[in-house]
Amino acid sequence: MFGRAASIRPLVSQLKLGARPTRARPSFKFSTSPPRRAAGSNLTAPPPAYGPIGVARALQPGTTASPTIFTDEFSLADRVALVTGAERGIGLEMALALVEAGARAVYCVDLPKAPGEEWAKVREYVGALKGKTGVGEARLEYVCADVTDQEAMWKVGKTIGDREGRMDVGIAAAGILKPDSPCLTYPAKLFQQVQDVNVNGVLFTAQAAGQQMERFGNGGSIIMIASISGHGSNKGHEWVSYNTSKSAVLQMARSMACELGPQRIRVNTISPAYINTKMTGAFLAKNPEVGERWAALHPLGYIGRPDELRGAAVWLASDASSFCTGTDFSVNGGYLAW
């Protein structure tokens, strides 16, 4: 299941034997401690582990003047992440962004037994990033798993937890889109397939990451890739299965955020508009005339690049968004603004 660089076998046999994790749990703690309060005590969270930031830092007597916004709040130093659908497209783009923000290890989960050339090149690039400003151990790992298999996904999460001693970020980016089909005769099987990946798969991914976040007690950030298709129907398309699945993801995030807030596990969604990936590329190859129409649907006048989602992903994954949960960030070129 795990790729060459992350062979799962020894870990699985250790698990069976009940052996202890191979790595000691790092002492690093998530910085935004929960407001565990005694009656009458302070109602806000304490400052991050790296000390007061912003105005509080400026006002601290004897403070050293140094910017913290990128070195601390946006930094993912030593963090561990699981990203599904990350053999390519939006998932891979986000996986690389996490590494660049300092993540120690990012596990890319996807269907192919072995990752393709594009993923391998990105991994090579990650290797070359080591030692550059803000970049940590920088490991990009590959795991072959199907997000619709709950047991397998839990096992992936546990194996990563055993190996790394923490889990900080889970991004559910695996998703599928089927060709147009009228809603009144939409085939049950096709509808189910889309829900299996886009809804069940997102839940199982969130569980896999969330269980490990709960286990290690450092909090964490779960990010589900929803879509503008969850906010409204795509004009000119018969995508009832996809649109339904993306609305479900928006509500799943809100529901999980409310349950997991006390453990400082934050759950949010990102809703992109049309982004130029193989998913949309495959569609446009069959319907070339649609590209112009899609581009015109965005006030910015173009179809988005996957890298235009990097900032949102890192922000949501990091302490910079520590007070955000149960909400959606629509990165959409103005698509919803008309």
Ligand X SMILES: NC(=O)c1ccc[n+]([C@@H]2O[C@H](COP(=O)([O-])OP(=O)(O)OC[C@H]3O[C@@H](n4cnc5c(N)ncnc54)[C@H](O)[C@@H]3O)[C@@H](O)[C@H]2O)c1
The span of 16-24, 81-89, 99-107, 187-195 binding ligand X (CB under 6 A) equals: 81-89
As annotated, the active-site residues are: 227, 242, 246
Q: What is the DSSP letter of 134?
A: T
Residues 116-175 touching ligand X, rule: CB under 6 A, are 146-148, 173-175
Edge to edge, the sheet with strand 80-84 lists 139-144, 105-110, 80-84, 169-172, 220-225, 265-272, 328-331
- Of residues 275, 297, 312, 320, which one binds ligand X by CB under 6 A? 275
Is 89 a residue that touches ligand X (CB under 6 A)? Answer: yes
Cβ(224)–Cβ(206) under 8 Å? yes
Residue 80 or 92: which CB sits closer to ligand X? 92
Q: For residues 214-253, which are near ligand X according to CB under 6 A?
A: 225, 227
Q: CA-to-CA distance for 313 and 94, rounded, in angstroms? A: 6
Specify whether the CB–CB gap between 160 and 15 falls below 8 A.
Answer: no
The residue from 212, 218, 268, 280 that contacts ligand X (CB under 6 A) is 280
Count of residues interacting with ligand X (CB under 6 A) = 27
Cβ proximity of 121 and 100 under 8 Å: no
Other Cβ atoms less than 10 A from the Cβ of 188: the count is 7
Q: How far is the CB of 199 from ligand X (least distance, A)?
A: 11
Residue tagged 């806000």 (tokens):
44
* From 19-27, 55-63, 83-91, 155-163, span contacting ligand X (CB under 6 A): 83-91
DSSP state of 327: -
Taking the complex as a whole, the smallest distance from the CB of residue 306 to ligand X amounts, in Å, to 7
DSSP H or E stretch at residue 329: strand 328-331
- In angstroms, give the least distance from the CB of 273 to ligand X: 7
Q: Dig out the tokens for 57 from the structure.
A: 């830092």
> Using the rule CB under 6 A, which residue among 277, 318, 321, 330 binds ligand X?
277
How far apart are CB 321 and ligand X at their closest, in Å? Answer: 19
Residues β-bridged to residue 140: 106
Contacting ligand X (CB under 6 A), which of 165, 170, 272, 333?
A: 272
Q: Looking at beta carbons only, is 34 or 311 nearer to ligand X?
A: 311
DSSP state of 111: S
DSSP state of 262: G
For residue 171, give the nearest of 329, 65, 289 by alpha carbon: 329
The verdict on 3 binding ligand X (CB under 6 A) reads no
Restricting to residues 182-201, name those near ligand X by CB under 6 A.
Answer: 197, 201
Binding footprint of ligand X on the chain (CB under 6 A): 84-85, 87-91, 110-111, 146-148, 173-176, 197, 201, 225, 227, 272, 274-275, 277-280
